[in-house]
Amino acid sequence: MAFGSATVGGNSITAISHWAHEAPQDVLAALGCWRDPLTGRCLPPSERTLRRVLADVDGNEVDRHAAAYLAESPDDREGQPAGDPPGSPMPREREARRAARRQRRQLMPEGLLPSAAFDGKVLRGARLPGGGQVRLLSLFDTTGGTVVAQRQIGAKSTEVPELAPLLTGLDLAGMVLTGDALHTVRESARHLTGDHRAHYVLLLKDNQPTLLAAAIRALSGTDTDFATRTHTMTDRGHGRTETRTIRTAPAVDVGFPGAAQLFRILRYRGGLDGVRISKEVVFGLSSLPADLAGPEHLNHYVRSHWGVENREHYVRDVTFGEDAGQVRTGQLPHVMAAIRNLVIGAFRQQGHSNIAHARRHYGYAPHRLLTLFSL
């Protein structure tokens, strides 16, 4: 957790090393830094030491331990209870107020199951030792906003065969896992429903032409034909409005493992004046039967999938400058991504909606970090 604390104060290894050398002695002692027996002062590791050690660490193991830490209840962790010390209230976040207003406007349908989204990300500035870009596949808890698991994709592999290793050891029974069209393959669906006893919600595109054609046929017709299997929701914010209308149909003889329902989502986007300026049609399928997930449930699951882009990938790129980083030594790019996930997850568990806001709050006062990670 020591490096996670330092990551709050810097994006690069150089910035993190600089933060550590400026940190107060009691903070360095709590973080476990080496104490010089002659002077009694705690000395943080040098930048060179940080690079060398982190480059040799197994990134998948760092991911596993970070996810295990975030999976614990803060009350069960050793050390101090997490939170701000007395007398240091956190300024209110505008994003938290927006989220509260949005929740009041859009009531969640009853009977939602726990859900998580899996998606890949390229670290654009980083490179593998032998050449090629660093790619990571992660499983994101769409409710809690934390990364449940993450795995580096092999240089000669793709996201699809890495899904099974990513989910190894996780208890996913009864959960809903969402993925984009790249993962709409029979082996992945069989693995989710058979090995993990989980449900899936997947999108359909041209990589499954026969399945897509079957969905188009099953979902064609007038609004009257689908009156009892249609749901519409409208969202307003960020200077635009979006209307999403979903219709569903039984997945009959589609030849896809576990498929129970097909769906079509029609998205209209426009300005705050309500004038529509764009239209998009999306098809998909799910293993959820109609008695577990009506149109409003499927609409929610599909929409929540993009939390992995907006609340994980975007935050790491914009707030932590991940794509701008050019670390290329050993496991360093993967390890840095895992530690960023840990920091973001710790902020979310403290109720922070704006990660940049929270980062400034804890970075300006290093002592607050001791309570953030219950050190």
- Mean pLDDT across 209-231: 95
pTM of the model: 0.86
Residue whose C-alpha is closest to residue 242's, from 250, 234, 231, 254: 234
pLDDT band at 227 (very low <50, low <70, confident <90, very high): very high
Reference 148, options 100, 184, 111, 196; nearest CA is 196
- Residue 87: pLDDT over 90: no
pLDDT score, position 323: 87
Report d(CA 141, CA 166) in Å as an integer: 14
Kind and range of the H or E run holding 96: helix 94-105
Mean pLDDT across the chain:
87
pLDDT > 70? residue 217: yes
- Residue 164 confidence (pLDDT): 96
37: number of Cβ within 10 Å: 6
DSSP string, 169-238: T---TT-EEEE-GGG--HHHHHIIIIIS--EEEEEE-TTSHHHHHHHHHHT-S-TTTTGGGEEEEEEEET
Contact 194, 257 (CB under 8 A): yes
pLDDT digits (tens, 9 = 90+) for 97-113: 666 565 555 668 889 99
Confidence of residue 256 (pLDDT cuts 50, 70, 90): very high
Q: What is the mean pLDDT of residues 143-164?
A: 92
The span from the CA of 116 to the CA of 142, in Å, is: 5
Least confident stretch, 24-38, 41-55, 117-131: 117-131
- Please give the pLDDT value at position 79: 47
Residue 371 in contact with residue 80, Cβ under 8 Å?
yes
Considering Cα of 362, then 365, then 371, then 375, what sign does the dihedral take? Answer: positive
Predicted pLDDT at 112: 95
Percent of all residues in the chain with a pLDDT value above 90, rounded to a whole number: 58
Averaged pLDDT, 139-153: 94
**Is 50 exceeded by the pLDDT of residue 29?**
yes
pLDDT of residue 96: 62
- 228 has pLDDT over 60: yes
Strands 133-141 and 230-237: unpaired
**pLDDT tens-digit readout, 336-352:** 999 999 999 999 988 88
Distance of CA 277 to the CA centre of its chain: 29
From residue 219, how far is each of 146, 269, 300 by CA, in Å?
35, 22, 19
- The confidence band for 8, taking pLDDT boundaries of 50, 70 and 90, is confident
Q: Can you give the pLDDT at residue 82? A: 43
pLDDT higher than 60, residue 2 = no
* Contact between 84 and 371 (Cβ < 8 Å): yes
- Predicted local confidence at residue 293, as pLDDT: 96
The pLDDT value given to residue 95: 63
Mean pLDDT, to the nearest integer, of 261-289?
91
